[in-house]
Structure 1
Amino acid sequence: MTSEKSGHHAQLTKWKVSANGVFARIFLAFLTTAGIFYINIMPALVSGLKQGLNFTNQQAGFVSSANLYGAAAGALLAVFLVKHINWKKWAYVLLIAILALDFASIFISSSNLMISVRCVHGLVGGLLVGIGFAVISRTQDADKTFGYLLLIQWGLGGLGIMYLPAMVPEFGTSALFVALMSFTFVSLLMLPFLPEYPVAAVDPLALVKTSVRRKPLILNLTAIFLFQAANMGLFAYVIGLGRAQGLTMEFMSPALASASWVALFGSLLVILIGTKYGRAIPLIVAILLTALCSWALIYSEIASVYLLANVIIGITWAFVLPYMFGICSELDKAGQLAALGGFASKMGLASGPMVAAFMLTEDDYQLVIYAAAGVLIVAAAMVYMPARLLDKSK
C-alpha cells in the first residue's frame, strides 16, 4: 500500500513544473493576476460602464474603487492566513468564486448592486492575490517572478484595452466580464501543475534581523501605496482625459494598448538585470520619470505627447513595482510581508480612482494630473531609505 502511495506521489510530482523555473514563474504570475486582472483593463472597464450602462464618472469610479477596496481587505486577510492554510486548495475555491461573481456581474445594471458585487469580487480576488504574493516570496529571486507578474499583466491588459472598448457598444458590458472570466479559467487550468511551495524553516537570527527593519518596511509600504494611488488615479480616467482634450477613441485604444505592450520592457528589464545595479538608483530615477510624464499629460491635446507619456508611464510602472515588492520579500521569506505589500498596493489602487472621482466633479483633469505628479515625488523620497539599506546589506 505504501509503495502504491509513493508511486502515485511520484507520478503527480512528474507533472509538476520546476519550482524556480520559467514555467513556475509564469503560472504563479497568472494565478496572482487572476484576482485583479480588471486593474489592467481599468480604463476599458470605467469607459464600458459609462458607455454600456450609462454610469456617471463618479458611479464608474466608485465601482472600480469598491472592487479595489475589497481587494485590499482580501490582501490584508491573506497576511494572517497564508502561513496556516493549504494555499493550493484555497486557490481552487477562490478561482471558482471569482468566475461565479464575474458571471453574475453580466446581469447587473444597477450601480449600487454593481458596487456591492464588485466589492465582494475584490475581497475574494484580493485574498487570492495575497496568497499568490506569499507563494512567489518562497521562490528564488522573487524580484524576477514579480517581473513575470507585471509582464503578464501589461501584455494581456494591452489586448483588453485595445479591443474591449469597441466591443461594449455591440455586446454591452458582458464583453468586459467574459474577458475576465476567460483569464480566470486559464489560471485554473495552470494551478494543478504548480508545486507545493512549503514554508521554509526560518533562521532565528533572520527573525531578529527582520524585527529591527520595521521602519524601512513601513516606508516601503507607504511608497507602494502612494505610487499605486497616483498611477491608478490617472490611469482609470485616461480615456476620459483624452476625450476631454479632443482625442478620438480610434486613436486612444491602440495608443493605450501600445503603451501596455511597450511597458513589457519595464518588467523584462527587471527579469534581465535583477538587483545587479542595486534597487535605490533604478527606483528613484524611474519614479521621478513617472512623475514627469504624468505632468506632461497636461498637454494631452497633442496626440504624440499623450501617447509618449502613457508609454513611458507604462514602462516605469512595470519596472518599479517588482523592486518594491522584492523589498518586502527580502524581509520575510515566509511571505507574510509580501502579502502586506499586496495590501498596500490594493489600498493605493483603490484610493487613486476614489480621490480622482471626487476631483472630477467638473471634469478638472488638470487637478488630478498635478496631484498625481506630486504624490509620485513623495513616493520616491519614501522608498529611497529601504532600497538603499538593502543595497548596503548586499
Structure 2
Amino acid sequence: MNSITQNTEGQTLSHYQVAPNSDIARVFLAFLATAGLFYVNIMPALVDGLIQGLNFSNKEAGLVNSANVYGAAVGAFSAVFLVKRLHWRKAAYVLLATLISIDVVSIFLTTPESLMIVRFVHGLVGGVLVGIGFAVMARTDYPDRAFGYLLLVQFGLGGFGVMLLPQLVPTFGIAALYLSLVAFSVVTLLMVPFLADYPIKVPDELAIPAAVNWKMLSLALLATFLFQAANMGLYAYVIGLGKEAGLSIDFISPTLGAAAWIGILGSIGVILLSTRFGRLKPLLISIALTAIATALLHYAQVKWLFIVANCLVGMTWAFAISYLLGLNAAFDKTGQTAALGGFASKMGLASGPAIAALVIGDNHYDVVINIAVFGLVLCALVAFVPTARLDRAQ
C-alpha cells in the first residue's frame, strides 16, 4: 500500500491503492479483464447446465451461449474506439454493476429466446469491460506479465468452475451457474478501488507507424478465428460428449478441471520459448497436437484417452492461441492489429458453439469432432504463410 503521494513509478496514489506495477495490481487487473468473459472459461458447465436444468436441447443451449460470446465480440470491437474517451474506473463500476444485474435476471428466464437476447446484451457489456481491462493492462510497465496473470486467473478459476459447477446444477438448478458469475463480478468490483489511475501514455507524435501488410494480417486473423472456433465448438459440448460415451459427471468434471490447470503450462511454455525458435515451428506443432488430441475424443469411452485428449488440448490451446494473438500484434506497434486479433478470437469463440449447435442434432458428437479437426487443419494451412513471412522478416 502507498501514502497519498507520488510513488517511485510516477503515479499519485491514495493510501489504500496498490503500486501500479506490483503483482497484486496485476492480479486485480486480471480479474478486471476476465470478469466480462469468465463464462467462456466455464462454457461446458453452462451448456450442460441449460440442458440439465432447463431441459434445453443441444442446439438451444449452444445458441444461447453463442449469443453471449457474439455480444462480447461486438462489445470488444466497440471498446477499441471507446477506451480513449472513457474514464476507465467509472466505466468499470457501471459495467460490472450491469453485468451483476443481468446475471441475476438470467436466473429467472426459462426460454431459449429470452436468454439469447439477455445473454447477448450481457456479452455486449462484458466485451466493453474486457476491452477496458486490456487497455489498462497495456498501460503497465510490463504488459506481458499482466497477461501472464490473466491466463493464470482464467485457467485456474475456470478449472475450478468446470470441476464444481456441473455437480451443483441438479441440486440448485441453473441459478448456481449464474450466481458464480455474479460472485466473480462482485469480487472484481471490490478490487477496482485499490487500483491506481493508469493514465493514458501519450505516444510520440513524431513516430510514423509502418504500413500494415493487410493481406498477411487477414490470413493471421482468419487463422485465429478458425483455431478458436474449432476448439470452442467441441469444448462447449465436451460434458455431453463424455456422458454419451458412458462416463459419469464425477469423472468428467475433475478431468476438465485438471485440463484447464494444465493449460497454464502451455502459457508458461510460450513465455519460456518466446520467439527464439521463430513462430512457425512452435505454432504448427501445437496446432497439429491439438488436432490429434481432438481426434482422440472419438474414443472418449476409454477413460485414459479422454483424460489425455482433454489435458493435451488444454495445454496446446493455451500455447497456440498465445502465438496466434502475438502474430496479429506483430503487424503493427500501435495495438490496433492486436485489438483486431482479439475481435477475431471472440468471433471464433462465438461461432464454434453456434456451428456445433446446428450440426449436433441428436448427440452427433462424432460430426462435431470431425468439423473441429478439419478446422484445426485448415487453421494450420492458413497460418503457414503469414507466420513464415513474419519469421523471415524478423
Unaligned runs of at least 5 residues, structure 2: none
Q: Bigger CA drift: 154-163 or 90-99?
A: 90-99
Tell me the secondary structure at the aligned position of residue 362 of structure 1: coil
Q: Which has the higher contact order (CA 8 A, sep 6+)?
A: 1
- Amino acid in structure 1 at the alignment position of 2:302: I
Distance across 1 between alignment mates of 2:31 and 2:144:
16
Alignment of 1:144-293 (within 5 A): 144-195=145-196, 196-202=198-204, 205-207=207-209, 209=210, 211-293=211-293
Alignment of 1:293-308 (within 5 A): 293-308=293-308
Alignment of 1:238-387 (within 5 A): 238-387=238-387
Distance across 2 between alignment mates of 1:50 and 1:34:
24
Measure how far apart 1:257 and its partner are: 1.0
Measure how far apart 1:79 and its partner are: 2.1
Confirm or deny: 8 A CA contact 1:158 1:260 kept in the other structure. yes
| TM-superposition CA deviations, 1:112-159 (whole Å, max 9, x none) | 111111110010011111222333344455444333322211110110
Distance across 1 between alignment mates of 2:278 and 2:24:
26
Runs of 4+ in 1 over 6 A off after TM superposition: 4-7
Confirm or deny: 8 A CA contact 1:142 1:329 kept in the other structure. no
Q: Bigger CA drift: 265-274 or 345-354?
A: 265-274
Residue 46 of structure 2 is matched in structure 1 by 45
Distance across 2 between alignment mates of 1:187 and 1:387:
37
| TM-superposition CA deviations, 1:175-204 (whole Å, max 9, x none) | 101111111122222223334151441465
- Amino acid in structure 2 at the alignment position of 1:114: L
Measure how far apart 1:25 and its partner are: 3.2
CA 1:331–1:95 in structure 2 vs 1: closer, same or farther (change >3 Å)?
A: farther
Matched, 1:29 2:34: no
Measure how far apart 1:216 and its partner are: 2.7
Distance across 2 between alignment mates of 1:60 and 1:312:
26
Confirm or deny: 8 A CA contact 1:158 1:261 kept in the other structure. yes
CA 1:43–1:30 in structure 2 vs 1: closer, same or farther (change >3 Å)?
A: same
Distance across 2 between alignment mates of 1:203 and 1:154:
39
- Amino acid in structure 1 at the alignment position of 2:23: V
Measure how far apart 1:5 and its partner are: 9.7
- Please give the root-mean-square deviation of Cα atoms over the aligned residues, in Å: 2.3
Distance across 2 between alignment mates of 1:199 and 1:334:
12
CA 1:10–1:376 in structure 2 vs 1: closer, same or farther (change >3 Å)?
A: same
Confirm or deny: 8 A CA contact 1:159 1:257 kept in the other structure. yes
Measure how far apart 1:35 and its partner are: 0.5
- Amino acid in structure 2 at the alignment position of 1:246: G
CA 1:365–1:58 in structure 2 vs 1: closer, same or farther (change >3 Å)?
A: same
CA 1:66–1:78 in structure 2 vs 1: closer, same or farther (change >3 Å)?
A: same
Identity percentage of aligned residues: 50
Distance across 1 between alignment mates of 2:69 and 2:99:
14
- Amino acid in structure 2 at the alignment position of 1:18: P
CA 1:28–1:382 in structure 2 vs 1: closer, same or farther (change >3 Å)?
A: farther
- Amino acid in structure 2 at the alignment position of 1:93: V
Distance across 2 between alignment mates of 1:313 and 1:6:
46
Give the TM-score taking structure 2 as reference length.
0.91
Count of residue correspondences: 387
Tell me the secondary structure at the aligned position of residue 316 of structure 2: helix
CA 1:72–1:367 in structure 2 vs 1: closer, same or farther (change >3 Å)?
A: same
- Amino acid in structure 1 at the alignment position of 2:345: S
Distance across 1 between alignment mates of 2:391 and 2:281:
10
| TM-superposition CA deviations, 1:294-329 (whole Å, max 9, x none) | 111111111111110000000111112222223333
